[in-house]
Structure 1
Amino acid sequence: MAGAARPLRVLIVTDTYPPDVNGAAYFTHRLAEGLAGRGHRIHVLRPSSSGPPHVVEAGEVTEHRVRSARIPFQPSMRAAVPLGLGGHVDRLLDRFAPDVVHVQSHFTLSRTALARARAAGIPTVLTNHFMPDNLYAHARVPRSLQSAAGSVAWNDMVRIAEQADHVTTPTPRAALLLREQGLTRDVEAVSCGIDLARFHPRAGERPAARASLGVPDRDSIVFVGRLDEEKRIDELVRALAVLTADLDAQLVLAGTGQREEELADLARVLGVDDRVHFLGFVPDERLPLVYAAGDVFAIAGVAELQSIATLEAMSTGLPVVAADAMALPHLVAEGRNGYLFPPGEVEVLADRLSRILGSRSERGFLGAASREMAGEHDHHRSLERFETVYARVVGAVPVRGRRRPVSV
């Protein structure tokens, strides 16, 4: 509890939480569990996974699940129902009386909680994980309207963020992006963090990991994440088709998404369908196996504000080949732990992958550097930083007539 003089009561508010599969959901879950493990009283306000509102004691974390409805075009995700939401939040704030409210987005539940916390005189922190690019495919926004839709979405996000007492985002590049979009207040980069003990080098376990996942024992390029448009997985498949002329390599994809069938068709057309393996959804407890099965991690997305999956791969000791876009260059030092490639340049991507897969000594050198660099993102450091942020806003914002808390 280095950053806080005493245990704090923190209400974490999020519009996405496991079983949702995305980086913001995973980060928020790990933040809640990590803070609770450090002695803080943590409650999470989130949409219900089933619809009706209810409260769940999830280990040391109390989850308040508000009424939800399915999101159009996203059958696996739900959003908070606005009707009655303000009153629900007010009652929770009154009973729990948190020292600080930490919202994880500017969407329905988070913005309501931010507004109600401000009205109650409770300090607020907002962490941004948002980029419009990650919503276009899900919301079925036509390409011709994406620029205009993105401007509207950014203006809305910035308007909400301006209301928080402190704003954070995962990387310096993500912070710069917020300022470029018009945010006038300070924004701090705080890494999502990585559990270095859970994701660690397992080079000797590769054959066993591959057998456990049901993939052949050959040199493997791995990717973990949603198989959606903005992730540009087709570039990885096309690069594999270039590689197979000289190398016995395969592509292992862990995740599901809207483009899975399309990607399988592409692999068949390119003649590499026997070398592209779709693992589907991999439970969090089995994720370390996926990285253990790999020789190199590849990511072609251009809308990454950090990329938890890339950090997990680095912590496991994998070299990384990543698109030279958004925040990915913060994680890849050219020639030290991997290589960058211009987005869309499949031939260059294939060349970088070939360079790594063709040399075991380079794999070892780059992988060791990845593990060393991942140490800068130790999740304990991130938790300490958020403790410091909470302590600062609690000390800076006066409490205006809140009731004493009752047990909840």
Structure 2
Amino acid sequence: MPDSPKTPSTEKPLRILIGADTFAPEINGAAIFAARLAAGLVERGHDVHIVAPAPTRRYGTWTETLEGQEMTVHRLKSWRWYPHPWLRFALPWQIEKNSARILDEVKPDVVHFQSHIIIGRGLSNQAEKRGIRIVGTNHFMPENLLEHTLLPAFVVPTAIRMAWRAAARSFSRAATVTTPTRKAADFLEHYTKLENVLAISCGVDAHHYTPDFTPRTGNLIVFVGRITSEKQLDKLIRAFAQLDPALDAKLELVGGGEQEGSLKALASQLGVRDRVTFTGYAEEDYLRHALTRATVFAMPSIAELQSIATMEAMASGLPIVAANAMALPHLVHDGENGFLFEPGNVEEFAARLTDVLTMPEDELQKFKRESLKIVAAHDIQRTLTTFEAIYRGEPIPAIDIEIPAAKPAE
């Protein structure tokens, strides 16, 4: 059985070094996963060190409190990637030297890198030279990053191939390679020619979220996440505009990002601006309350390797309407806890939202409880136990392997 959240492992604690090219205070799936993984490991009694870009000009080593746990963070000198609205990268020409220095200071039992781009490349290369066990997790899709470059369109396919070759070099150094879902694992194996990539859920602590089973008194659609083009939020606003006005539905977008201005303009153009709320970057308490208040969670993105936000919505007992793309069908079992729609099909998106908003109360309650049942397989304690076994080179408990994916929508 997995250890309880407050019970340290009875085995000797590990010294774990986690490398992340994107990390708190940045808000995205990879950064959130790395912080929650680190905090959970600290809570279990392990000595956790983080290597990540400095979010400001100040860099060095100090203690930070993340997800309620203190850990040592090695912040590397970084530069803003100016085509992107907030992303900062550690300096690539210093990464080998910095990786060697930190590894020699920390002397970790295991290095776990979260992407191959810069920090993962340096740490995996230097850890291999020192005979340190290496674990790699991929949260990366080249298309998402290259969207924020100034490369002309005809160069992008070549750049994507180069990015996957670079990923293959770094991940080939790892004793174990993981990614959040089986779909994402198959994707990584296809493009890198790696074998035996494990699907391990990012996990969610359902105890932090509050389902509401009282009869609904309104129709609130909520999205939580970054307000960026990859999330396809223009499709959500267009679908919302097609809903029957008699439903008196409202839409709330919880998060910030560079698309906020253009989406507000779109909502105004479509005549629904007075019923669409843009919260900007929100505190965790507000996010959780928004999920509790909602009737349905909408996720139109076509590039989710897992979607922590969708799992949080499920832990809040929400039915989900999501694009039938990438990993979302792993979470959304069509007709059971929500509905899938053809990516980009605004009319079908609106129809599936309508299905939830007009659903009889007893059927809605079934969908809500099914979301809770499905997300239980993604409990973060299972994720922590799985990674502890991987770090030690032990067999992975069968209960921690991801459940089979649901069949896609017809």
TM-score between both structures, scaled by the size of structure 1: 0.90
Q: Distance in 2 between matches of 1:104 and 1:238?
A: 35
Alignment RMSD: 2.0
Paired position in structure 1 for 2:137: 127
Match of 2:387 in 1: 386
| Most deviating of 240-249 and 14-23 | 240-249
Instruction: Give the SS at the match of 1:253.
Output: strand
Gaps of 5+ in 1: 207-216, 395-408
Structure 1 range deviating more: 218-227 or 167-176: 218-227
Pairs within 5 Å for 1:99-114: 99-114=109-124
1:309 maps to a residue whose letter is A
User: Which of 65, 78, 82 in structure 1 is aligned with 2:88?
Assistant: 78
Deviation of 1:361 (Å):
2.7
Any idea what the Cα deviations from partners look like across 1:70-91, whole Å, max 9, x if unmatched? 1122342311113433222222
Helix, strand or coil at the partner of 2:393: helix
1:124·1:393 contact (CA, 8 Å) conserved in 2? no
Provide the C-alpha distance between the structure 2 equivalents of 1:231 and 1:268, rounded to a whole number of angstroms. Answer: 20
Q: Distance in 2 between matches of 1:358 and 1:173?
A: 32
Cα offset for 1:157?
1.4
Q: Map Cα deviations across residues 41-93 of structure 1 (whole Å, 9 max, x no partner).
A: 10111111112322221243111111111112234231111343322222221
CA displacement 1:286-316 (0-9 Å, x = unmatched):
3211211211001111111000000000000
Distance 1:240 1:17, change over 3 A: same
Partner of 2:46: 40
Residue 343 of structure 1 aligns with which residue? 343
Alignment pair present for 1:53 and 2:54: no
> Displacement of 1:343 after TM fit?
0.6
1:201 aligns with 2:207: no
Change beyond 3 A, Cα 1:82–1:393: farther
In the TM superposition, 1:10-49 aligns within 5 A as 10-49=16-55
SS at match of 2:49: strand
Task: State the alpha-carbon separation in 2 of the partners of residues 103 and 14 from structure 1.
Answer: 6
Identity %: 43
Superposed CA deviations along residues 118-176 of structure 1, whole A, max 9, x for unmatched, are: 11110100000001222233224455544333222222212221121110000000000
Contact 1:55 1:64 in 2 (8 A): yes
The letter of the residue matching 1:367 is K
Secondary structure at the residue paired with 1:73? coil
Equivalent position of 1:261 in the other structure: 261
- Equivalent residues in 2 for 1:290-309 (5 A)? 290-309=290-309
Q: Distance in 1 between matches of 2:50 and 2:310?
A: 26
The number of residue pairs the alignment matches comes to 384
C-alpha contact (below 8 Å) 2:253/2:279 kept by paired residues: yes
Please give the alpha-carbon distance, in whole angstroms, between the structure 1 residues aligned to 2:40 and 2:230.
30
Q: What is the CA distance between 1:275 and its match in structure 2?
A: 1.1
Q: Is the 8 A contact 2:321 2:352 kept in 1?
A: yes
Matched, 1:137 2:147: yes
Contact between 1:222 and 1:251, CA under 8 Å: does it hold in 2?
yes
Greater relative contact order (Cα 8 A, min sep 6): structure 1 or 2? 1
Change (3 A) 1:293 1:140: farther
In structure 1, give the amino acid aligned to 2:393: R
Equivalence for 1:62: 72
Aligned equivalent of 2:332: 332
Aligned twin of 2:376: 375
Residue 188, structure 1, aligned to residue 189, structure 2? no
Query: Which of 85, 89, 103 is the equivalent residue of 2:99?
Result: 89
AA aligned to 1:159 is R
Task: Letter of the 2:265 partner, please give it.
Answer: D
Match of 2:6 in 1: none
Q: Which amino acid aligns with 1:362?
A: E
Distance in 1 between the 2:155 and 2:215 partners? 48
Distance in 2 (CA, whole Å) between partners of 1:369 and 1:312 is 14
One-letter code aligned to 1:370:
S
For 2:195, the aligned partner's letter is: R
Task: Name the structure 2 match of 1:161.
Answer: 171
| Structure 2: segments with no counterpart, 5+ residues | 4-8, 396-410
Is the Cα–Cα contact under 8 Å of residues 319 and 338 in structure 2 kept in the other structure?
A: yes
